[in-house]
Every structure is written in structure tokens, then in C-alpha cells.
Amino acid sequence: MTVLLIDTGPLLALADKRDKAHERCTRFLKDYRGRLLTTWAVLTEFSHLAPTAASTLPLYWWIERGGLEVMPLGKEELITAIDWISRYAEQPLDLADASLVVAALKTGSATIWSLDRKDFETYRLPGRKHFRLI
């Protein structure tokens, strides 16, 4: 089954009906068939940027129901993320983005749903492989 990695932007758009990307993200999610995966670092960023604590609850309930998987980030994954942050020290590679790079390496999926195209167009996986952006 196809794995789609999810960045913070679509989660924020889904949580906020006033977000300019809300309708587009809602339509995409309604039609998508496959595994959806994010990381704890992305969830942390989402909870920090969400308009209210109450607006985060639907996402957490969706995770509880199994609609979105959350990849654990242990010490090994953090070490790998630190390596990637070091490689892109001159770029805006934060921990949330680096955790998605780690998720791509662990799952073999380079398909990512992000509203921040410029960053993931810059990052390269081993073999100079590009992310496929949704």
C-alpha cells in the first residue's frame, strides 16, 4: 500500500476552515486511498501553530481512530535527523522536516504532502532522489 508522508501545512489547513488551503486539502484527503504517515515532530509543530488547542482535537481523534499513523522517533531517528539538519544547515531544515526525511528513509516512500514546496524540492534523498510532492 502506498505511504503518503504528511507535513505540518496540510494538517493546519485541515484544522482551520479559514485557511486558504482548507477546501483543497479536504478534497484531496476525501479522495486519497493509502497509508497516511506523519511524525511526532510534525505533530508538535502542528500543535504549536494551530489557532487554538480545541482545533487540534479532531486531528488527535483521527489518529486515535487509525486514520493517520505516527512514526515514533527514538534516539536512532534523532541522530539521523541531526545528520540531515547538519547537511542542510544553510537551508531551513527544521526538526519536523528532518523527521519526514527520516520517515522517507525508513519507509522507502518519497511522496510527501506539503504546502511548503520549496523546502522539499531542495532536499535530496540518497542517490540524489527527489521527493514527490503532493
Domain boundaries, the chain: 3-133
Task: Tell me the percentage of the chain whose pLDDT exceeds 70.
Answer: 99
Question: What is the secondary structure of 8-38 as a DSSP string?
Answer: HHHHHHHH-TTSTTHHHHHHHHHH--SEEEE
Tens of pLDDT, residues 49-60: 998 999 999 999
Tens of pLDDT, residues 73-105: 999 999 999 999 999 988 878 999 999 999 999
Smallest CA-to-CA distance from 95 within 48, 41, 46, 51 is with: 41
Alpha helices in 16-131 (DSSP H): 22-31, 40-49, 57-64, 75-87, 95-107, 117-122
Check pLDDT > 90 for residue 118.
no
Burial class of 11 by CB neighbour count within 10 A (0 to 12, 13 to 18, 19+)? buried
Q: Which fold has domain 3-133?
A: Rossmann fold (3.40.50)
* Residue 12, CA atoms < 13 Å, CB-side half-sphere: 17
